[in-house]
Amino acid sequence: DNGTNGYFQYISHAKQGKSRAREAQKNVNTAIRKALDNIKVTDETHSATERITKAAFESCMTYERNHVEDILIDIANW
């Protein structure tokens, strides 16, 4: 029964270009983005940790938005 087997549900979603892990990661990324939204990398009223985190997150997410989703869909379809 595909309804009770998590593996088959995962594979079914992956074939559609979705997965639970991918959806969960999107939710985490959205929460991080909201938390960092008011942080300005050049504003020294924010801690160095906050500014570094914001810069790193933006750098990673700019790259990810351009390529990773397409790659994951391609992998799922192979």
User: Is position 1 within any domain?
Assistant: no
pLDDT at 60 over 90: no
Can you read off the two tokens belonging to residue 35? 């938390």
Rg (CA), the chain: 17
User: Is position 39 within any domain?
Assistant: yes
> What is the dihedral angle through the alpha carbons of 42, 46, 47, 48, rounded to the nearest 10 degrees?
-10
User: Is position 23 within any domain?
Assistant: yes
Degrees to nearest 5, angle at CA 50 with 49 and 51: 95
Whole-angstrom Cα distance, residue 72 to residue 13?
A: 12
User: Is position 60 within any domain?
Assistant: yes
Contact 58, 71 (CB under 8 A): no
54: containing domain:
6-77
DSSP state of 37: T
User: Is position 27 within any domain?
Assistant: yes
Q: How many domains does the chain contain in total?
A: 1
Across all residues in the chain, what is the average pLDDT? 76
Interval 12-19 mean pLDDT: 62
